[in-house]
Structure 1
Amino acid sequence: MSTHTPPRFDPTRVPHLLGSFAPVTEEVDVADLEVTGEIPAALDGLYLRNGPNPRFTPIGSYLYPIDGDGMLHGVWLSEGRARYRNRFVRTPALEAEERAGRALWGGLASMITPDAEQVGPELAGTFRDLPDINVVRHGGRMLALAESACPFRIDANLATVGREDFGGALPAGITAHPKIDPVTGEMTVFCYGLEPPYLTWSVIARDGTVSRGPTPVDGVDAPMMIHDMALTDRYAVLVLAPAFFDLGAAMEGGSFLAWRPEHGTRVALIPRDGGTPRWAADEAFWLWHTVNAYDDGPGEDAPVVLDYVQWSRLTVGGAPEDSEHQVRSGLVRARIDPAAGSVARTLLDEARVEFPRVDDRRIGRRHRHAALATGTGREDLLTGEYDAIRWFDTETGTARVWPAGDLSVGEPVFAPEPGQDSEEHGYWLTYATDRTDGSSWFLVIPAEDPASGPVARARIPVRVPLGLHGCWLPTDGG
């Protein structure tokens, strides 16, 4: 479908294009950031974060967090000093729009695509690449990740190398939240599609070669959105909430995602050795992000423990129009019984939270601490905006909080102290933007006493829009 006349759409009325979310267009390099406090000398590496950042004013529609060009924001740390660089992920669509000087593709909800006269025959009628959600380093590649498509490879200076299909072994791509086993070095990925097979999983070995190609997950008979996954020693864990793609409705001006709670939520435990998936079922709930998972005992029938941020239903772009269904979130632990096919859920923390992270060295194993973005209760924050960081202790059931005041904070990422294996020895890193003046900061928070707040704040001389996911990439490759 293509058209030169987009439907009525006013981007100045879209909250996620304003304030702390407003996109930036300038790519900058700053050699030496001004630092308040002291950056630990042990931190040597790159903190890198991705996020949606439209290069041009959107047309047709804009849905946060799905739409938007990817922009990478990096802070390099060494010997207590910090430097900053940001770069767009340069997709073919972004380059075509730069030649035109305006947006040519609409948001996903509008179904606007350019014709051959505007962009040439190869791009005509196609949907734009959106590698704007996450970034990961594995097997010698640094990848900017999309929702369910081929990622884009990035070099050490954040320049875009090009679309990555892993030597043709994963032509449909992967989703934005692969999981890397810290013991084996394998990266397990999944991908969903609009046509059969609707869901596949794959494995990329430590050296970057695809050791298991796209493997269909039996028991999935309709296109569904699945944002994140978890990993245990035995299983890849996928939560299939009842969020179904409906292209027919989208073509007629309706929503391309339909929430159908009558179908309930199912959990697929996919044996990493290639065995038959085991299923469990429960009442409907939605999750954007998992915290972590692990096997609770030996044997194939041992329960799987999954911690995640639970939402009562799916929303995209803001609160649902149906005010009778208030959306609720919280930190939840699910105990999944593979033999009985059942799920027992326990609310661990009822605070409004999102963007959960653990020490990545604990992925697939028992963890003690989870860090999450949270709110202090103020009512002027938008969906996806948080003004505090919360650390939940799974052993004691208690939480510590650092209120950020006028700062809107992003996802916290753990940087271990070199030579230490403890979750308490390291630092939590994030970007934050001041809602009063638009200034942005890079924060370093000690894991030993996170509620005490940052030990260092590096001033970013340009605004860093609120974004999505990132990672800590130590110089030694660990």
Structure 2
Amino acid sequence: MPDRPSKLGLMPRRGTAADVRWIEVEPRHMLHEANVWEDEQGRIVADVAAAEGTALFPDVNGNRAGHAETRQSLRRWTIDPKAKSDSLNEEIVNDRDIQFPRPDDRLMARRSRQAFANSNLNSHDGRVEGMDSALRVDTATGAEDLYHFGAGTAVGELIFAPRIGSTHELDGYALTLVHRKDSPESELAVFDAANIADGPIATAVIPFRIPSGFHCNYYSVDGPLYRQAFGTA
């Protein structure tokens, strides 16, 4: 385990380099965040997928951490910019091996309660075969809603698509791209976002292998994000 802390740079949106404040946390490796927002007390709340230690880098002696040390769990970091301490509070929201967490994109940078992600069900016994499960976590309680696609599958980023006219972050669908080890096809799996464990409500089989792109987005053709990216449908 590294003996120096990780650091987060905190800068006002319209600030300069001179305004950066460095916040320290125990050694962590974080690749993806679910969401970050400012709460009513002016604190910064970040729901992140983070591992203890330095997951992708060897130590000073060239030794790499084992899988148990590199598992990324969903954690909540809370930073109080008004506090005198240059540290943060960390709590583990859910201990699943998790990647690519994200909210209902309509709530990006605002308080959200649901994190959609993928997970590796085999990580707890030391085997690493890729992310094989779709996962939703209630970040207020840590409760999970999980569907396992089975051995030999690779599950991509799980994204939320709101139902037409919906305003609630569970009123919609969760979509992910699935590859199976022994199949040249790809599958687009569609879930009821509130009931991941029930399995896909629809599956579109694509007759060729779509390369893993890791990240994806959902755009409603009548929404501002689609028009900004692609013009009028």
1:401 matched to 2:146 = yes
Question: Structure 1 residue 361: deviation in Å?
Answer: 0.9
The 1:323/1:332 distance shift into structure 2, 3 A limit, reads closer
* Amino acid paired to 1:309: A
* Equivalent of 2:30 in 265, 280, 287: 287
Cα separation, 2, equivalents of 1:267 and 1:331: 17
Normalised by the length of structure 1, the TM-score is 0.42
1:107 corresponds to: none
Asked whether the 8 Å contact 1:431–1:441 carries over to 2, the reply is yes
1:425-478 Cα shifts (integer Å, max 9, x gaps) = 111111101123242101111113222111111111101233310101221134
Runs (5+) with no aligned partner, structure 1: 1-259
1:268 corresponds to: 9
What aligned pairs does 1:155-304 form with structure 2 within 5 A after superposition? Answer: 261-274=2-15, 276-298=19-41, 302-304=42-44
The 1:283/1:411 distance shift into structure 2, 3 A limit, reads same
2:49 corresponds to: 309
Normalised by the length of structure 2, the TM-score is 0.82
Could you say which structure has the greater relative contact order, defined with CA pairs below 8 angstroms and 6 or more residues apart?
1
1:3 corresponds to: none
Cα separation, 2, equivalents of 1:304 and 1:403: 33
* Amino acid paired to 1:443: A
Cα separation, 2, equivalents of 1:411 and 1:321: 30
Question: Structure 1 residue 394: deviation in Å?
Answer: 1.8
Question: Structure 1 residue 331: deviation in Å?
Answer: 0.8
Question: Structure 1 residue 337: deviation in Å?
Answer: 2.0
Cα separation, 2, equivalents of 1:469 and 1:317: 23
The 1:466/1:281 distance shift into structure 2, 3 A limit, reads same
Question: Structure 1 residue 404: deviation in Å?
Answer: 1.0
Asked whether the 8 Å contact 2:51–2:69 carries over to 1, the reply is no
What aligned pairs does 1:48-447 form with structure 2 within 5 A after superposition? Answer: 261-274=2-15, 276-298=19-41, 302-316=42-56, 321-322=63-64, 326-338=69-81, 339=83, 340-377=85-122, 381-382=128-129, 385-406=130-151, 407-447=153-193
CA radius of gyration, larger in: 1
Cα separation, 2, equivalents of 1:413 and 1:377: 22
Asked whether the 8 Å contact 2:137–2:143 carries over to 1, the reply is yes
Asked whether the 8 Å contact 1:292–1:307 carries over to 2, the reply is yes
The 1:380/1:278 distance shift into structure 2, 3 A limit, reads closer
Question: Structure 1 residue 271: deviation in Å?
Answer: 1.0
SS of the residue corresponding to residue 141 of structure 2 reads: coil
Asked whether the 8 Å contact 2:98–2:118 carries over to 1, the reply is yes
Asked whether the 8 Å contact 1:432–1:440 carries over to 2, the reply is yes
* Amino acid paired to 2:107: R
Identity of matched residues, %: 31
Cα separation, 2, equivalents of 1:270 and 1:361: 24
The 1:395/1:322 distance shift into structure 2, 3 A limit, reads closer
Runs (5+) with no aligned partner, structure 2: 225-233
Cα separation, 1, equivalents of 2:65 and 2:50: 19
* Amino acid paired to 2:200: P
SS of the residue corresponding to residue 442 of structure 1 reads: strand
Asked whether the 8 Å contact 2:29–2:51 carries over to 1, the reply is yes
